[in-house]
Amino acid sequence: MDKKVYGILSLPVIVGALGYFVDIYDLLLFSIIRKDSLIGVGVPVDRVTVIGEDIISIQMIGLLIGGIIWGIMGDKKGRLSVLFGSIVLYSLANIVNGFVVNTTQYAIVRFIAGIGLAGELGAGITLVSELIPKEKRGMATSMVAGIGLTGAVFAFIMKQEFNWRTCYFIGGGLGLLLLILRISVFESGMFHDVKKLNVQRGNFLMLFNNADRFKRYVLGILIGLPTWFVIGVLVTFSSEFGTQMGIKEKIDPGKAVMYAYAAIAAGDMLIGFVSQWFRSRKKALYLFYAITALFMILFFTVQWNGSAAMMYWICAGLGFGTGFWAIFVTMGAEQFGTNLRATAATTIPNMVRGMLAVFIIPLFKGLRGITDYYTGGWLAAIIIMLIGFIAVINTRETFGKDLNFVEQ
């Protein structure tokens, strides 16, 4: 059993960050190469937006299902088993993705990749949270998320240099290379300890059979909704919003994603230190929620007849605001006992990703159906932010919480 005390720049943190880097590269690659790749498999230009929304939704459903599978496995078999299994699945799926020739194949492979991608973040954050002293936990998980999120920037650079099929091959290859580093990481001592206890491990239904646990779980999910509204709607479809707002220049959605994720990475690394300074997860969340809301207002007001450059910088501001993702995921791990921690920490972010398909995009489509594209966007933004603020108000503070406990 590993009882070593790790620092915020120790091997588990570095390997966790690199794992999330590859995860984000593969997760965001479709958003970045959406137009080129869909046209490449024969989709007419006027159908790219609709087909793109459908494939993103299918990928997110895969993430939702995968989150449940890997979360349960993380508590039953160990955090490392998830980190090995998930990376093999999504790496192979991305290599196969480089060979697809039609949208049906594309959707199936993105669904399988989504299942694989679901395991990386939750298991990685759970492992780091359990290995790092509680005083430094927030900073360590912020390092994992912040460094990892630069994977989106790398994906954009690869898109600029290579054909879209090659970009998928690169993602798959990076994942397989990461397996070598994973061998050097130890399993969590807390997980080893809880295996000796007579408690249920990885029982997904335990999140629903107790009112207090269910409340913690639902609030944990709702806090994260603004992140995927920003990335999955405002940034991914920034080109379409730009057209609606009279921007004459061509907006590259891949470049918008790159700007957003570079800023998210900065926000993610900063929020751990902000939380440490405030000695509060919730106060840090309020600050970053306010930044997100500010740039949503700018997105829908200053861009009429604006420029592509301004759109990219507003997407960067939105990204920086949603840099609360690191603390949001950390809180998901801190809310639950060791016997249910991986299940909760893995399913919560993937439920949020899945909500893009089952709630966020349907909400946006419904609102734009009864109004218009632009109005549907800002109405959805107000609804999503209100839900998030209410969730933060009602969730528990977890700063400095001792994680060595179990759920009964």
Length of the chain: 408
Of 164, 171, 39, 57, the closest CA to residue 103 belongs to 39
Distance CA 53, CA 269 (A): 30
Tell me the Cα Rg of the chain. 20
The verdict on residue 401 lying in a domain is no
How is 207-273 classified by DSSP, letter by letter? Answer: GTSSHHHHHHHHHHHHHTHHHHHIIIIIITTHHHHHHHTT--SPP-HHHHHHHHHHHHHHHHHHHHH
- Between 140 and 12, where is the model more confident? 140
The verdict on residue 106 lying in a domain is yes
- Between 231 and 195, where is the model more confident? 231
Q: Is the pLDDT of residue 141 over 70?
A: yes
- Which H helix or E strand runs over 276? helix 253-278
Tell me, what's the pLDDT at 88? 92
pLDDT averaged over every residue in the chain = 90
CB neighbour list of residue 163: distance below 8 Å, 6 or more residues apart: none
How is 132-162 classified by DSSP, letter by letter? Answer: S-TTTHHHHHHHHHHHHHTHHHHHHHHHHHS
The domain tally of the chain equals 1
Q: Is the pLDDT of residue 5 over 70?
A: no
Helix axes 373-394, 281-301, angle to 10 degrees: 170
CB 149 within 8 A of CB 121: no
DSSP three-state, residue 90: helix
Tokens, residue 134: 């509680």
Q: Is 399 left (phi over 0), alpha (psi -120 to 50) or beta?
A: beta
The verdict on residue 162 lying in a domain is yes
Q: What residue numbers bound the domain in which 208 lies?
A: 11-183+204-394
CB 350 within 8 A of CB 321: no
Q: Is the pLDDT of residue 83 over 60?
A: yes
Q: Is 186 left (phi over 0), alpha (psi -120 to 50) or beta?
A: beta
Tell me, what's the pLDDT at 1? 40
Tell me, what's the pLDDT at 2? 45
Q: Is 220 left (phi over 0), alpha (psi -120 to 50) or beta?
A: alpha
The verdict on residue 295 lying in a domain is yes
Where residue 390 sits, what CATH number does that domain have? 1.20.1250.20
Q: What percentage of the chain reaches a pLDDT higher than 70?
A: 98
The verdict on residue 125 lying in a domain is yes
Q: Looking at residues 275-283, what average pLDDT do you find?
A: 93
The verdict on residue 126 lying in a domain is yes
Of 111, 119, 56, 60, the closest CA to residue 88 belongs to 119
Of 83, 305, 329, the closest CA to residue 227 belongs to 329
CB 48 within 8 A of CB 237: no
∠ CA(350), CA(227), CA(328), 5° rounding?
A: 65
Q: What percentage of the chain reaches a pLDDT higher than 90?
A: 60
Q: Is the pLDDT of residue 132 over 60?
A: yes
Distance CA 208, CA 31 (A): 33
Q: Looking at residues 278-293, what average pLDDT do you find?
A: 96
The verdict on residue 1 lying in a domain is no
How does residue 7 score in pLDDT terms, banded at 50, 70 and 90? Answer: low
Q: Is the pLDDT of residue 58 over 80?
A: yes
Q: Is the pLDDT of residue 185 over 60?
A: yes
Tell me, what's the pLDDT at 258? 87
Burial label for 353, CB within 10 Å (0-12, 13-18, 19+), is buried
How does residue 166 score in pLDDT terms, banded at 50, 70 and 90? Answer: very high
* pTM for the model: 0.86
Tell me, what's the pLDDT at 6? 63
- Between 141 and 320, where is the model more confident? 320
Q: Looking at residues 374-381, what average pLDDT do you find?
A: 97
Tell me, what's the pLDDT at 383? 98
Tell me, what's the pLDDT at 404? 84
CA dist 118 to 111, 121, 124, 287, 379, Å?
Answer: 11, 7, 11, 28, 29
Distance CA 289, CA 406 (A): 31
Distance CA 61, CA 77 (A): 24
